[in-house]
Structure 1
Amino acid sequence: MSAERTERILAEAKYLALSTVSAHGEPWSAVLQYARLSQPLRFLFGSATQSRHSRHITANPTVSGSLFVTGDGDLTAVDGAQFTGTCRELTEDEVHRHHGTFYDALLPDEKDRAEYTLPVAALLAPANHRIYQITVDRLWLIDTSTWLEDRIDRRVEVAVP
């Protein structure tokens, strides 16, 4: 699996599906828009502190998820990745440091960014919103070569960029 393919998926996927588990073992999945940070690979997303996945993260920071690109209707162009990692709220210092990067990625249109960007104060306690960070520890890509041969859906673990 190529580093270029991994980079393409990371660059083109606009949403991630995040899976969490409560302290009582109840699973949940949420589709979230995100921003990517590199070295180490991390994903930032915003959420209300009382959302189900935010409550799960507080109780159990181990998460998994997936990214996908659709290929504009061409079945052979569909691609994606799965990951595991740990998730936590950003610290106040980190919110200040990543605020611009986060909203630039989520809202590339300047007009939308001006309208929908929350101020830093709205992302810190006691406010109801936070920015969370997933630190990716393992990453898998769809094994497209074998799927073309036998139509069995497999994953191949790749190095985390």
Structure 2
Amino acid sequence: MSVERVGRILAEARYLSLSTVSGDGEPWSAVLQYAWLVRPLRFLFGSATGARHCRDVEARPAVSGSLFVTGDGDLTDVDGAQFSGTCRELTEAEVREHHATFYDALLPDEKDRAEYTLPVEALLAPADHRIYQITVDRLWIVDTSTWIEDRIDRRVEVTLP
């Protein structure tokens, strides 16, 4: 059941919330559109190198975050996951390898993809935009079985493949 739920969350959540900490210890959170890869579980997001969360990742690559699915608005359709991991900028070879997968996930509409996809060169140094990867170390989902019984919000860690 956990694997199916995680698959649903990954497929339906359009954004992730990324939490970082600066070199000076200041916390930050950013909401980012993302793509995901499996084995190991990774999240890809694009951002400007000058963005606060990217500067934080450069200073401290350990991150955490969450994914959230609202379903059709019914309380029992709400679901989500929380994660911790390590974040880094993709290498040039990785940008070339994942470019199409990244934009296919972010822009599923072919017309939008044609209009808004940045070329690979616009995502490599010295350009201001880059693609970053979060390698997920740990993942938790809401324990819906106990919540139904006592309305206490608990998490269950999911074993990653």
TM-score normalized by the length of structure 2: 0.98
2:104 maps to 104
Supply the RMSD in Å over aligned alpha carbons: 0.8
Any unmatched runs of 5+ in structure 1?
none
The code of the aligned residue for 1:8 comes to R
Q: How does 1:1-161 map to 2 (within 5 A)?
A: 1-161=1-161
> 1:10 Cα deviation (Å)?
1.2
Q: How many residues align?
A: 161
Identical aligned pairs, as a percentage?
81
Which whole-Å CA distance do the structure 2 matches of 1:5 and 1:38 have between them? 15
After TM superposition, the score normalised by the length of structure 1 is 0.98
Runs of 4+ in structure 1 over 2 Å off: none
Q: Measure, in 1, the Cα distance between the counterparts of 2:47 and 2:41.
A: 20
CA separation in 1, counterparts of 2:109 and 2:7?
23
Write the distance in 2 (CA, Å) between the matches of 1:160 and 1:123. 29
Shift of 1:2: 2.3
Q: State the distance in 1 between where 2:94 and 2:19 align.
A: 24
Q: Alignment partner of 2:132: what SS? A: strand
| Structure 2 unmatched runs, 5+ | none
